[in-house]
Amino acid sequence: MPAPRKYPDELRERAVREVRISGRLVAHVARDLGVRKEALRQWVRQAGADTGERDDRLTTAER
């Protein structure tokens, strides 16, 4: 059984959207939203894979 998620899905989606739309640095968005910057960086990378923008990672469905 996987570990429970520390951050709600809504916060994850909001954070990724903020990075993509605003063009702000991951570290700045992470600080403003109170999340770890490496966590947000991974979320952004995974979102890129899920939308087909990146081909160096498995999509969430493939995992």
Domain ranges across the chain: 9-50
- The secondary structure of 24-49 as a DSSP string is --HHHHHHHHT--HHHHHHHHHHHHH
3, pLDDT greater than 80: no
| Backbone CA torsion sign across 14, 17, 19, 21 | negative
What pTM does this model have? 0.83
Tokens of 6: 């520390």
Tokens of 56: 């160096």
| Backbone CA torsion sign across 43, 6, 31, 17 | positive
Helix axes 9-22, 37-50, angle to 10 degrees: 80
Per-residue pLDDT of 4-61, as tens digits, reads 778 999 999 999 999 999 999 999 999 999 999 999 999 999 999 988 888 787 787 7
